């Protein structure tokens, strides 16, 4: 499974990439997309939505099941990947690139998010 070194991860199989300007770009991992199978539908929050760390804020559906996506941090959704409406298969094809889900700007007064580094996430999925 592909686990890029420069990302942070949750134990629920989301990744987060720090962007210039303080936002976090968020998606699901290669492991997650492989386990889900062919993804046919993605339900994303509206830009401006407030999300809380660990709470479900999006849904991804494959031909076989529905999965909740959990927010890696508390904050505000500033951008969503509109392309996924018509091309949800991007999550399977390119989970760390074109298959990104949204950008969340973390709350400034929020607690520091507890995310895994690449080694920590590798250990999790190999155990």
Q: Could you list the residues that contact another protein (CB under 8 A)?
A: 37-38, 40-41, 43, 59, 61-64, 66, 88-89, 92
Return the number of the residue (61 or 79) whose C-beta is nearest another protein: 61
Q: Which residues contact 64 (CB under 8 A, 6 or more apart)?
A: 36, 37
How far separated are the first and last CA of the chain, in Å rounded?
13
CB-CB contact of 32 with 47 (8 Å): no
Q: How far is the CB of 109 from another protein (least distance, A)?
A: 31
Q: How far is the CB of 110 from another protein (least distance, A)?
A: 27
Tokens of 7: 């990302």
Return the number of the residue (8 or 62) whose C-beta is nearest another protein: 62
């Amino acid at each position: 499974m592909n686990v890029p070194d420069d990302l942070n991860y949750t134990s629920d199989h989301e990744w987060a990439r720090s962007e210039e300007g303080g936002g976090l770009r968020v998606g699901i991992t290669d492991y997650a997309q492989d386990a889900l199978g062919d993804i046919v539908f993605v339900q994303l929050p509206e830009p401006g939505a407030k999300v809380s760390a660990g709470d479900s804020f999006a849904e991804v559906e494959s031909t076989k099941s529905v999965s909740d996506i959990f927010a890696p941090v508390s904050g505000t959704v500033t951008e969503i990947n509109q392309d996924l409406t018509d091309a949800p298969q991007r999550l399977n094809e390119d989970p760390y690139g074109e298959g990104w889900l949204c950008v969340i700007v973390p709350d400034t007064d929020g607690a520091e998010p507890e995310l895994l580094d690449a080694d920590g996430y590798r250990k999790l999925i190999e155990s």
